[in-house]
Amino acid sequence: MSLPTAREFPRLDTKTSIKDWARDLILRLNDDTRQVLLPSTVITLVPGNNNNVKIPEQAMLIILAGGAGAIITGFACGRDGKFIMVNDPAGAVNFTNEDASSEAINRILTPGGSNESGHVFILVYSARRSRWLMFTSA
């Protein structure tokens, strides 16, 4: 989160300058709010299977695939209702459905029951099913 700093207040004498100032203010507030509500952690993967990936308490994970062929088979540290958003801004993140390489309690259930690949995923842990449930991917 950025710390407040003294900035010269811009001259707001035209519609364009007001719109630009408002857009800049909204972007700064959105960034700061996102960092408070969804603090992120960067995790770097190795090529091949990444089993039982230990995740911190943060809800937002930035996954760096660490090269082609990085695959997530499951996440450790699940608890009922824990929500994570996985994002790899540079490449695709690959997930396997119900992969036996991870412990059963750490496995992922994908929407269609098949392996998924993409840039953004939202998962929620279900204690009742003892699995990470993937809700969206993009």
Q: What is the pLDDT of residue 1?
A: 43
Q: Is the pTM of this model over 0.75?
A: no
Spatial separation of the C-alpha atoms in residues 133 and 138, rounded to whole Å: 15
The count of domains in the chain is 1
Q: Comparing C-alpha atoms, which of 92, 94, 81 is closest to residue 132?
A: 81
Task: Count the residues in the chain.
Answer: 138
Both structure tokens of 104: 């059963």
Q: What is the pLDDT of residue 2?
A: 45
Q: Which domain holds residue 118?
A: 40-137
Q: What is the pLDDT of residue 138?
A: 54
Q: What is the pLDDT of residue 33?
A: 62
125 Cβ neighbours under 8 A, 6+ residues apart: 75, 78, 79, 80, 81, 82, 83, 131, 132, 133
Asked if residue 10 is part of any domain, the answer here is: no
Asked if residue 75 is part of any domain, the answer here is: yes
Within 10 A of 43 (CB to CB), how many other CB atoms are there? 19
Q: What is the pLDDT of residue 131?
A: 96
Return averaged pLDDT per consecutive 10 residues of the chain, 138 residues in all: 55 79 70 63 84 81 70 90 79 90 96 87 90 79
Query: At CA 107, angle to CA 35 and CA 98, rounded to 5?
Result: 130
